Amino acid sequence: MHRLFTRVARRRGRTIAALTLALTLSATATACGGDDASAGDGSGDDTTAVTVGVIPILDVAPIYLGVEQGFFADEGLDVTLETAQGGAAIVPGVVSGQFQFGFSNTISLLLATSEGLPLTVVADGVSSTGEEGNDFGAVIVPADSDIKTAADLEGKKVAVNTLNNINTTTTNEAVRKDGGDPSTIEYVELAFPDIIPAIQKGDVDAGQVVEPFLTIGTSSGMRAVTDNFVQTDPDLTVAMYFTSEQFAQEDPEVVEAFTSAMNESLDYAQENPDAVREVLGTYTELDADLQEQVILPRWTSEIDVDSVELLSELAVTDGLYSEQPDIDTLLP
C-alpha cells in the first residue's frame, strides 16, 4: 500500500483527495503500533503484554475501541496493535510468534489451515451487514458502464486487492447466483487505493472494494453492481481474530482473556456506531465527512460457522485448494 502513496497524491479532484486521505490509513495506523512489543509480563504483576497484528482498515475499529474503553486492561492485557499490509502477512507473524494474535479474512485462514499451519480462531472479526445496497464491500463500475448486474461481469476485467482470496471467491459466487460464468472473468490484482483510479482510466471494467473506498467511489459517481459479501451469504463471517495452536496451548488463560475482551469490544462497537466513527479518527486520517459517510460492517461476538463452511466449499469450487481443511481444528 505504501508504494501507492506518491502515485495517488499526484491525482486531483475530490475523489483523489479522499483517496489520498485513505492511503494514510496505513502510515497512521503503523504509527499506532509499537516496534518493541513482545509477549510477556507487562508493567504490573498481573498484566500480560500481547501484540496483535491488524490491518489499517475500519474493520478493526472494535479492537481500537476496546483498548480505548479499557476492556483489555480489565482482563489483565496490555495490548499493542501492530499493522501489516494484509492478513496474508499477519498469518506467518502469528505462527512465528511476532504477534500473539492476528486479524485476517476467513479465506486466508482457511488457506493457511489447508496448508497445515497450526492456527486457532479466538473471536469473530467482521461480518457482512446482510443488507443489499448497504454493505461495506461491493463491486463498482463507472456510472455509464454497460455492466448492470453481477452476471454482466462475465468476460470482464475486474480488479481485486488479492487474487484467489475472499474477494474473488465471493464475487464469483455473486456472478454464479446471477446466472453468469465467473470462470470467464479476468481478475487483476491491485491494492485497494489503486482500484478506483484504474476504473476511471479504463484499465479495468470493474473493481471490488471495501470501505472507505466504496464510499469514495460511489461519491464520485460510480455505482455498485453487486454486494459480493451479501450475495454470498447475508451472515458472512468475513474475517476473524486468531492465534497459533502453540500459543493457545502454552497460554490458555491469556487466550481466554483476549477472547473475552475482544467479544466485549465487538459487541460494544456494534451497539455504539457513533463511537466507532469517532475512534476511526484516532488511527486513520479519514476526514470527518468520510468518517460519517462510510458504511459500517456488522460486528458480532458470534462466529457464523455455516458461512465459514460455505466459504470453504467455494474455495474448493474455485480451485484454491483441492480438499476442504478440517474446520473444527480452526474454529473454537
Q: What percent of the chain has pLDDT over 70?
A: 86
168: exposed, middle or buried (C-beta count within 10 Å: 0-12, 13-18, 19+)? buried
In which residue are the cell numbers 473493481 written?
Answer: 207
Whether residue 23 has pLDDT greater than 80: no
Report the candidate in 156, 138, 301, 317 with the shortest Cα–Cα distance to residue 229: 138
Q: What percent of the chain has pLDDT over 90?
A: 78
Can you list the domains of the chain with their CATH numbers?
Answer: 48-130+236-329 (3.40.190.10), 137-232 (3.40.190.10)
Residue 272, φ and ψ in degrees, nearest 5: -135, 70
In which residue are the cell numbers 479499557 written?
Answer: 70
Residue-level pLDDT at 12: 30
The mean per-residue pLDDT over the stretch 10-38 comes to 35
pLDDT tens column, 258-305:
999 999 999 999 999 999 999 998 888 788 999 999 999 999 999 999
pLDDT tens column, 205-252:
999 999 999 999 999 999 999 999 999 999 999 999 999 999 999 999
Whether residue 31 has pLDDT greater than 90: no
Whether residue 202 has pLDDT greater than 80: yes
